[in-house]
């Protein structure tokens, strides 16, 4: 009979995360990885434990050992918040409330806040099996919405991955090695094929002193109201990824490759388009429908039927040919370029410009003049010195 699981895995991913540390009231920084205080606060939130009532629950939760694998470092982003609105902030001398000079309104205090953007962490919580079972049940059905450090940072995915249920492990490092690193997209790899881990260190019978390279993090929560924290030792380890190293790579990326949406277009390389264009040119007496110059090309005024010219035999049916001809107009190269530039500038969709409509007349004339002026200038540049162009 297998033993009860002693380790629970949390997957922490979000567009923004913020794990407070070394912060002052006005400048609120974030640590590089989830803190023990932040993770236990998330659990209390899921269990609907208030800040005032958290002290008793924290005594039990602090028996957990926490290990964090930094799957994606993320980028540091800064934002600002205003606090003290309608309550006011004391002046520097402590006498009175700050007010704006122009409107004499109560002035709010501006604070700067740091976030981790697009970071991803695997957290291993290790403790008594009964406590692990309680936390798992709370995370599966949270009473309050959990968030990653700040209330404006909700997770972008499930905190529990059914593929990696709680298990029994001898230590945190073995637990973090057991979960494959999952790429966001096919072919992605971590930087230098390595992952940093931050492991909570505690004295053992064989080692009563912390290693020389141990870090001290003041993030063991004793109380949330008022905030009070104790220190703990944290050890940094590096794990190799892929190729039979410490951590395997998940074969299934988190995100599927999104195919480009199908776009209705005409295959201009097929004989079917040439047959339609030639009929249109002949019907317009080989003249541009806009300027009456010799026409050299056909221009779609609608792409709703484009791409259906796949069968040259079908075009032998005069009714089908007439439907295709209604979507095409004969243009000279200059008018064709003018129409196309206006269409792209307006980001038009399936329905395009019909140069026969009076509403486009002034825009087409102006665009034609612009193209002529540009081409004339380019021709002069090819033959004259730069100072002689203008």
DSSP state letters, 226-254: TEEEEEEEEEEEEEEBSTTSSB-B-SS-S
Q: How far apart are CA 135 and CA 160, in angstroms?
A: 11
- As a whole number of angstroms, the longest Cα–Cα distance in the chain is 99
| Backbone region of residue 74 per phi and psi (left: phi > 0; alpha: psi in -120 to 50; beta: other values) | left
Q: What are phi and psi of 174, to 5 degrees?
A: -65, -35
3-state SS, residue 238: strand
Q: What are phi and psi of 125, to 5 degrees?
A: -105, 125
The whole-chain average pLDDT of the chain stands at 87
Condensed to tens digits (0 to 9), the pLDDT of residues 240-279 reads 998 888 999 998 888 777 766 666 666 666 677 888 888 8
CA 60 to chain centre: 37
Segment holding 372, helix H or strand E: helix 361-383
Question: What pTM was computed for the model?
Answer: 0.66
| Backbone region of residue 347 per phi and psi (left: phi > 0; alpha: psi in -120 to 50; beta: other values) | left
CA angle (284 as vertex; 278, 287 as ends), nearest 5: 95
Q: How far apart are CA 161 and CA 10, in angstroms?
A: 8
Domain borders along the chain are 7-240, 271-388
Q: Using alpha carbons, list the distances in angstroms from residue 303 to 176, 274, 324, 332, 362.
A: 54, 16, 10, 20, 24
Condensed to tens digits (0 to 9), the pLDDT of residues 335-363 reads 999 999 999 999 888 889 999 999 999 99
* pLDDT over 80 (residue 95): no
Condensed to tens digits (0 to 9), the pLDDT of residues 33-56 reads 999 999 999 999 999 999 999 988
Condensed to tens digits (0 to 9), the pLDDT of residues 282-326 reads 999 999 999 999 998 999 898 887 766 556 666 777 887 888 888
3-state SS, residue 382: helix
| CATH fold for the domain made of 7-240 | Alpha-Beta Plaits (3.30.70)
| Per-state percent for the chain, helix, strand, coil, to nearest 5 | 30, 25, 45
Token code pair at residue 338: 């003018």
pLDDT of residue 1: 40
Q: Using alpha carbons, list the distances in angstroms from residue 334 to 138, 225, 325.
A: 69, 74, 21
Q: What are phi and psi of 316, to 5 degrees?
A: -65, -20
pLDDT of residue 310: 58
Token code pair at residue 170: 């001898």
Q: Which residue has the tokens 């703990």?
A: 232
């Amino acid at each position: 009979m297998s033993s009860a699981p002693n380790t629970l895995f949390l997957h922490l991913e979000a567009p923004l995360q913020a794990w407070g540390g070394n912060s002052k009231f006005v400048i609120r920084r974030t640590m590089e990885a989830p803190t023990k205080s932040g993770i236990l606060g998330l659990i209390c939130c899921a269990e609907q434990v208030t800040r005032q009532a958290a002290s008793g629950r924290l005594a039990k939760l602090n028996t957990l050992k926490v290990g964090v694998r930094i799957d994606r470092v993320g980028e540091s982003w800064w934002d600002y918040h205003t606090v003290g609105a309608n309550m006011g902030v004391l002046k520097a001398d402590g006498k009175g409330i700050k007010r704006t000079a122009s409107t004499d309104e109560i002035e709010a205090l501006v604070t700067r806040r740091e976030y981790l953007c697009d970071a991803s962490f695997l957290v291993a919580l290790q403790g008594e099996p009964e406590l692990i079972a309680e936390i798992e049940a709370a995370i599966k059905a949270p009473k309050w919405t959990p968030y990653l450090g700040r209330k404006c940072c909700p997770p972008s995915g499930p905190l529990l991955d059914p593929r990696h249920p709680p298990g029994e492990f001898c230590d945190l490092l073995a637990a973090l090695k057991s979960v494959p690193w999952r790429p966001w997209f096919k072919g992605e790899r971590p930087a230098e094929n390595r992952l940093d881990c931050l492991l909570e260190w505690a004295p053992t019978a064989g080692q009563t002193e912390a290693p020389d390279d141990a870090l001290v993090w003041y993030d063991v929560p004793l109380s949330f109201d008022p905030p009070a924290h104790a220190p703990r030792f944290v050890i940094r380890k590096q794990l190799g990824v892929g190729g039979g190293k410490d951590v395997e790579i998940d074969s299934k990326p988190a995100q599927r490759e999104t195919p480009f949406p199908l776009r209705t277009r005409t295959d201009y390389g097929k004989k079917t388009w040439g047959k339609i264009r030639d009929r249109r040119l002949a019907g317009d007496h080989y003249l541009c429908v806009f300027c009456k110059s010799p026409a050299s090309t056909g221009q779609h005024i609608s792409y709703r039927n484009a791409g259906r010219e796949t069968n040259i035999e079908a075009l032998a049916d005069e009714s089908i040919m007439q439907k295709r001809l209604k979507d095409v107009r004969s243009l000279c190269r200059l008018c064709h370029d003018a129409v196309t530039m206006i269409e792209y500038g307006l980001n038009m969709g399936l329905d395009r410009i019909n140069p026969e409509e009076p509403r486009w007349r002034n825009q087409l004339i102006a665009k034609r003049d612009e193209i002529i002026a540009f081409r004339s200038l380019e021709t002069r540049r090819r033959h004259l010195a730069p100072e002689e162009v203008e």
